[in-house]
Amino acid sequence: MTSGKTESTRRSFFGILVASVSAVVGAMMSIPVLRFLLFPVFRSGDTAAWSALGDTGQFSGAGPFRAEVEVRRVDGWRVSTVKRAVWVVRNAQNQLLAVSDVCPHLGCSVPWRDDEQIFHCPCHHAKFRRSGDLLSGPSPRSLDPLPVKVEDGKLWVKYQVFRNLVSTREVIG
């Protein structure tokens, strides 16, 4: 073996060594950076808090009743109070329920139509019963029920946002 050949082998060896060690070290260093960059993609979405809808007395009758909630929304490093609308409805057992007014199809606000006695989405004509159950149209599921509780004679709701266009409900915020 000539010395030129030895030198060339030595250079190849160190070339591969330096390249592979830098690849390993680079991969190790990219772990914290990737973690940082991926925040908060995989964070659990259920951060909603309870907001008061009003006295239960004001929801007497068949409904549905439109109610506004003030939601304290955490937006990264700031919190703001935003207003959101919900529908207060009664189920078959005459219990008060709250459903989101956001259509599970493409997110339009769904109004109650007194003439038709149904919820009728103005965008793509999804129709829902008084209870929020799906009647017809492109929506993959019924209007989304929101967690409610009665405390001190007041109706409270947890305002949640759901993933649209899927048939199973998934809270995303």
The residue ranges that bind another protein (CB under 8 A) are 10-12, 14-18, 21-22, 25, 29, 32-33, 35-40, 70, 72, 74-82
- Closer to another protein at the Cβ: 17 or 62? 17
Determine the number of helices (DSSP H) and then strands (DSSP E) in the chain. Answer: 1, 11
How many residues in total does the chain contain?
173
- Closer to another protein at the Cβ: 73 or 120? 73
Q: How far is the CB of 103 from another protein (least distance, A)?
A: 26
CA atoms of 90 and 60, how far apart (whole Å): 10
CA atoms of 73 and 137, how far apart (whole Å): 31
- Closer to another protein at the Cβ: 12 or 58? 12
- Closer to another protein at the Cβ: 41 or 92? 41
CA atoms of 143 and 131, how far apart (whole Å): 9
CA dihedral for 36, 40, 44, 50, sign (positive or negative): positive
Q: How far is the CB of 149 from another protein (least distance, A)?
A: 19
